């Protein structure tokens, strides 16, 4: 197994040591080397630091407040506290990379089967890119956090980004060494057929 796969952890506490731009570029290039459905490469990376990051996170905060009044994801209300926690982590992280899906379909518009398959394949491709970025971050001595709590503030963040947000990625030098989180029992997740 690649060492980076075993060493990777979700990091939720970062040092404020600046990350050189060439390292950020290397990590995004690793993302862009991911396989993608029909080689569509459905990704656009918006790298935010400083004032731009504050603006984006203000949009997310506005969305979390709005979610309490006019929920976009009413059945997920139990996870809102977690989203506030994720927002605090994002504020503390020196870099937030927003992964925009330029081919993404509006979440509120019902889709036919064709479009859903298109969306699922593009989303899997983006997942592959984000995982590559997570592993490249480990190789570069950095920590990262893959984030989807942004979906509570999808409208607000998409307006700020001018694009359909798929995931966010917090990046920086780790200021914690979390233990591995438990995994399901191997025999319970694998079924052999011959």
* Interface with ligand FMN (CB under 6 A): 9-10, 12, 86, 145-149, 181
Please, what is the minimum distance in Å from the beta carbon of residue 146 to ligand FMN?
4
Kindly state the tokens that stand for 73: 């994801």
**What is the torsional sign of CA 22, 38, 165, 160?**
positive
- Could you tell me which residues come within 8 angstroms of residue 190 by beta carbon, excluding any fewer than 6 positions away? none
**Nearest to 46, CA basis, from 35, 38, 57:** 57
Kindly state the tokens that stand for 99: 């992964």
At residue 49's C-alpha, the angle toward residues 48 and 53, to 5°, is 65
């Amino acid at each position: 197994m690649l060492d980076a796969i075993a060493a990777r952890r979700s990091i939720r506490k970062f040092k404020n040591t600046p990350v050189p731009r060439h390292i950020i570029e290397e990590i995004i290039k690793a993302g862009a080397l991911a396989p993608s459905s029909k080689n569509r490469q459905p990704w656009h990376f918006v790298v935010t630091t400083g004032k731009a990051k504050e603006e984006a996170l203000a949009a997310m905060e506005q969305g979390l407040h709005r979610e309490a009044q006019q929920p976009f994801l009413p059945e997920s209300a139990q996870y809102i506290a977690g989203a506030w926690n994720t927002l605090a982590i994002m504020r503390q992280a020196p870099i937030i990379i927003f992964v925009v899906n330029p081919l993404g379909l509006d979440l509120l518009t019902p889709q036919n089967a064709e479009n859903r398959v298109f969306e699922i394949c593009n989303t899997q491709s983006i997942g592959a890119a984000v995982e590559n970025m997570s592993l490249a971050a480990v190789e570069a001595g950095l920590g990262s956090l893959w984030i989807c709590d942004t979906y509570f503030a999808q409208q607000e963040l998409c307006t700020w980004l001018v694009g359909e947000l798929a995931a966010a990625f917090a990046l920086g030098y780790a200021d914690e060494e979390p233990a591995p989180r438990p995994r399901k029992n191997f025999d319970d997740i694998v079924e052999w057929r011959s």
